[in-house]
Structure formats: structure tokens, C-alpha cells
Chain A
Amino acid sequence: MLKDITLGQYFPGNSPVHRLDPRTKLLLLIAYIVALFTASNWLTYGVVFAFLAVGITLSAIPLKSFVHGMKPLVFILVFTGILNLFFTTGEKLLVHFWIIHIYWEGIVRALFMMSRILMLLCGTFLLTYTTSPISLTDGLESLLSPLKKIHLPVHELSMMMCIALRFIPTLIEETDKIMSAQKARGADFESGNLVQRVKALIPILVPLFISAFRRADELATAMECRCYQGGDGRTKMKLLRYKLRDYKAFLLGALLLTVVFVLRGFGL
């Protein structure tokens, strides 16, 4: 069922990671990604992995959820692995067959690339699993607010993101309902060739688009009725404030970056 899509779903909880300020988590994620892309050997990868492992352990989110979230992205993972495996050249030739050359360096590189993607995904999942969409957009808005000076509509952008995230489950539910209704009229989505299958989507997409526009219209009216007029002079019910645990987390992030940079600087 469509409802089972869990990609980036928020798991409510009260772990130390959940309680961190969303801005802290966003900044830490950026630091983590920088460290991950700086890392170039097993040692530095190990350091970055240790950081991730600490995060996942503290978040108390079952590993199963990470594995489950990874499923739709297996293709990209495998594709990257294969690409690196076949197209990296080096010195130690292991397999030579027709136009296929596999070097020892290729295997190493494929493993590095795949673990990099895996760790990248796990890091982002850790953020979205432990942060509700609302506090995430709140954090983003607050982090980007300096850009208001150059007339970037930061508030509007974060509001759009918030609304988009909010309506994903609603639209999934709606799609489910429309599919059932068209199936009840004998629509068939499971058989036929590609053209027939694409055509079979029309009875779902048309009502879905219409309802999405209708919802957008209703939402706009409802917001206007409550005098929404953008971000100017708007106050927040939940003000974001850094606490002690945020500073501790920053320290950990700084440590990660320093260690990775130093190790890399020494060429280790």
C-alpha cells in the first residue's frame, strides 16, 4: 500500500537527539556531510562512522527503520557501486574479460563510494526521523533569515516547504482513495504494456490534480481568513533557543571536523 512509504518519516520520541534544537541538527548535518566528503581512507571513514553511530544510538530509533528507508534507494547504491567497479583504473588488475577490467582499486573505490552514500543517507534520515517537519522548517527559516537582507523571501519559502510536507500524507491518502474508486469501476493498473499502463494513470492523475488545486485554494482562503500576510511582524509561539546540550553537540561536531581535517592533512 502507498501508506507504507516511510522515506524520511518523523518518529516522535524524547531522546537527546530529538530534543536538540533543529538548527543544531541542521548545522551538525552539514558538518557531518563536509567531514564525510573530506574523508578519504578507512581511518577517516571510521571517525565519521563513529559520529553517526553515536547519533543513531542516542536517538533510540531502531536500525530496522534505517534499513527500511534505504530500500527505495538500493538502485542508486548498486548503480554507483557498479559504475565505480568497472570504470576505475589502477595498477593491480584482478579480472580481465572481453572489455571488462576490474582493478583492486576499483573494488576499494566502489566500497568507499557505496559506504559514503549509505552514510549520507543514514545521516539525513537521522535528521528527518528525529525532527518533525514543522520544527525542521522553523530551523531552516531561522538559519536562512540573514538572507532576508538580500530580499530573499525566506519566510515564504519555509512556509511553502512546511505546507508541502504537511500535505504529502493527505495526498497519498487521496491517491489511495481515488485508486480504489477507479478500481471499483474496473480500472486495471496492473496489466498491459507500458503505454496502456501510463494511460491507466489518467483516471487517477486528473482527479488528484483537481483535488490538489482545490485544497490549495481552500487553504489559501482559510489562511487569509486568519489574516495571514507573510512573515512581516509575525511572532512565534515556540521560540528557538540554544541550550547547553546544543553547545555540547556543537563541540562534538567541531571535534569531528578537526579530527577529519587533521588526519587528512597528515595524509593518513
Chain B
Amino acid sequence: MAPILQVQNLQHIYSIGTPFEHIALENVSFSVERGEFIGIIGHTGSGKSTLIQHLNGLLKPTDGKVLLDGQDIWSDKALARACRFRVGLVFQYPEYQLFEETVYKDIAFGPKNMGLKPEEIDRRVRQAADFVGILPEQLEVSPFDLSGGQKRRVAIAGVIAMEPEVLILDEPTAGLDPEGREEILRNIEDYRKAKNATVMMVSHSMSDVARLTDRLLVMNGAHLAMDGTPAEVFGNAEELLEMGLDIPEITEVFLHLRRMGLDVPQVYTVDQAVQVLAGLKGGNANA
């Protein structure tokens, strides 16, 4: 099957032709397959947010193309709008965009804009609420009476209710406590599995992306610096650190162990580390 999203030589320049001109993206190309879980990392100002706003047609590239299902999304105007329903984008701190009187109405905003039938909207709202762990009785309360973490989940449900084929999230866990973070990440994974959707997640938590994603895109200075599996990307630890990025804590620990002369492989999740250590322990016991 053809890739769901293809980005070709994307370039974006802000305030073109003014003294404030600023290149945000330069020659970025990659393609995304159905069902992939992709992490996007890069330090502040590297072009991550600009990049994701191109994928659902919110920003128009100054050069290059974005293809959705093989079709250029800017080839006609209706397509650019339709593509917002197929590629769902959850912004940073999405809870600040809630506006309706009830949670139900807020989640229904997206599906309503799609022009769906009331029964279909109802089904989607309830299902989306279920995905993010919002109880049916909470649907009738005002979103402003909920806690911060719950508001965030309502906002994510508002995008999930459009049942996008590609779900893009910009730092969905920023500012939440560890428990809230785990829950949101689990919700996202649930949605991906249930709908065989593609998920792209911008994150600053290297251990989260290492654990969850199949593939990492590393942005640096408006360019796509690396594109590969977490193992490949975190294999270049030195290069990442040079870009001002972190590596997962556990990778760092093992890097130190290696420098101390211990023969351990490169790991990037805690589970792997446990396996490696258990193997070592077993080996030592035998010796």
C-alpha cells in the first residue's frame, strides 16, 4: 500500500520578504506508513511545530509538497480542509482551547464540523470519551470544572472523535504528573491499535519516545537531521548531544558503564536494560 503521508522537499519561510524573514523548514522529506508510531524530537525552535502544522494543511509550504494518500493536499482548497479531518492535530496545551458548555458538546465540535449525522456524532463522542477514560456521567459537566489532566484528555478526545487516520500530538504530556502522563500515552496507544491509525508525537521525553515509537524523526536547525528506529537514532548518542538533545537516562547509564570498561550493548529502554543485566548476572553465576 502507498504511504499515507509523503513530505517532499518541504520548505517554510516565515514573514517572507520582510526584515523578520526566518527559515523554519528547509528541504525536509520523509514518508509515513499506515499504523506507524513516529516520534519527533528536536530542541526548541528546530521546526517541529511548523512541520506538524504542514501535515494537516494549516500552514502552506513556501516550497515542496505534502501528499496525503498520494494526493497533494494543496492541489485544491476543499482537499486542504478535508485533510484536517483525516490528519488530526492536537496542539500543545490543548486544554486551553476548550470552549463549550459541556464536555459532550466540546468533543462533538470536530465531528459536527465534518457534517456527520447526529447518531454518528453521538457514537463518536462516546467512543472518543471512552478512549481517553472520560466517564459517561462526566460528559454533561462543564469542561472548566475538570482537573488539568482531565481537561487535556477531553481536548484530545475532541480530535480523536474525528477518527483521523493520522493522529499528531504536540507534547501531549507536557506539564502533567507521571501518572497522568502514563495514562495519556496509554490512551494514544489504545486508539492507534483500535483504528490501525498512524500516530506522530512530538516529545521532549526521550525515554517515552524510546519506549513507544517505531521510528524517530530528529529535527535540527530547520533540517531533518536523522530518520530511523530508536535504536539507530540513540546509537548516535554523541551526535544527539551535540544538537542539544538528550538521550534516554538508561542509555546514558549504559554509556557510562561502557566507558568504565564494562562490555554492555547499547540499550534505550528500561526493559532492555533489565534483560541485559539479567543476562550478565546469569553469566557471572555460571562462571
Residue A178 at the chain B interface, CB threshold 8 Å: yes
Q: What is the interface residue range for chain A against chain B? A: 10 to 19
A129 and B77 CA atoms in complex are apart in Å by 39
The reply to whether B96 and A207 form a contact with Cβ atoms under 8 Å apart is: yes
Q: Is the CB of B97 within 8 A of A181?
A: yes
Q: Which of A18-42 contact B (CB under 8 A)?
A: none
Q: Is the CB of B96 within 8 A of A206?
A: no
Listed stretches A53-61, A155-163, A185-193, A241-249; interface member: A185-193
Q: Using a CB-CB cutoff of 8 Å, which residues 167-207 of chain A contact chain B? A: 177-178, 180-188, 202-203, 206-207
Q: Output the least CB separation between B56 and chain A (Å).
A: 6
What's the least CB distance linking B73 to chain A, in Å?
14
Contact partners of B97 in chain A: CB under 8 A: 178, 181-182, 203, 207
Q: When chains A and B are docked, how far (Å) is the Cα of A178 from the Cα of B56?
A: 16
Interface centre among B58, B96, B97, B98 (most CB of A within 10 A): B97
CA distance A185 to B160 in the complex (A): 10
Interface Cβ pair total, 8 Å cutoff: 54
Q: Which residues of B contact A4 (CB under 8 A)?
A: 15
Q: How far is the CA of A182 from the CA of B90 in the complex (A)?
A: 10
Q: In the docked arrangement, what's the CA distance between A217 and B143, Å?
A: 20
**Contact yes or no, A203 B99, CB < 8 A:** yes
Give Cα A3 to B18, complex, Å: 13
- Given contacts A180-B58, A184-B58, are A211 and B96 in contact (CB under 8 A)? yes
Inter-subunit contact B99/A184 (CB<8 Å): no
Expressed in whole angstroms, the minimum distance between the Cβ of A182 and any Cβ of chain B is 6
Per the CB 8 Å criterion, the residue count for chain B at the interface is: 24
CB-CB < 8 A to A181: which residues of B? 91, 94, 97
Does A210 reach chain B (CB closer than 8 Å)? yes
Which residues of chain B from 51 to 109 have any CB-CB distance to chain A below 8 Å in the complex?
A: 53, 56, 58, 81, 84-85, 88-91, 94, 96-99, 109
- The interface residues of chain B lying within 8 Å CB-to-CB of A202 are 99
In the bound complex, do residue B53 and residue A188 qualify as a contact, i.e. CB atoms below 8 Å apart?
A: no
B114 beta carbon closer than 8 Å to chain A: yes
Complex Cα distance A177/B89, Å? 12
Q: Describe A's contact surface by its main secondary structure.
A: helix
**Are B96 and A178 within 8 A (Cβ)?**
yes
Our pick among B81, B91, B158 for the contact of A180 (Cβ within 8 Å) is B91
At the interface, yes or no: B110 with Cβ under 8 Å from chain A?
Answer: yes
Chain B residues, CB < 8 A from A178: 96-97
Instruction: Please state if A186 and B99 are interface contacts (CB–CB under 8 Å).
Output: no
Residues from chain A with Cβ under 8 Å of B94 in the complex: 181
B96-142 contacts to A, CB under 8 A, are: 96-99, 109-110, 113-114
Which partner residue on chain B sits nearest A205 by CB separation?
A: B99
Evaluate whether A185 and B58 lie within 8 angstroms (CB atoms) in the complex, with A202-B99, A211-B96 already known: no
Q: State the CA gap A183–B113 with chains docked (Å).
A: 10
**CB distance A184 to B113 under 8 Å?**
no
Bits for B160-171, please: 1 = Cβ < 8 Å to A, else 0: 001000000000
Q: Do A206 and B162 touch (CB < 8 A)?
A: no
3 smallest A-B Cβ distances: which pairs? A186-B113, A206-B99, A185-B110
Which positions in A face B, CB cutoff 8 Å?
A: 3-4, 177-178, 180-188, 202-203, 206-207, 210-211
Inter-chain pairs besides A182-B109, A186-B110, A203-B97, 20 sampled, C-beta below 8 Å: A177-B91, A178-B96, A180-B58, A180-B91, A181-B94, A183-B58, A184-B88, A184-B89, A184-B159, A185-B158, A186-B109, A186-B113, A187-B113, A188-B81, A202-B99, A203-B99, A206-B99, A210-B96, A210-B144, A211-B96
What are 20 A-B residue pairs whose CB atoms fall within 8 Å in the complex?
A: A3-B15, A178-B96, A180-B58, A180-B91, A181-B94, A183-B58, A184-B56, A184-B91, A184-B159, A185-B113, A185-B159, A186-B81, A187-B109, A187-B113, A188-B113, A203-B97, A203-B99, A203-B109, A207-B97, A207-B98
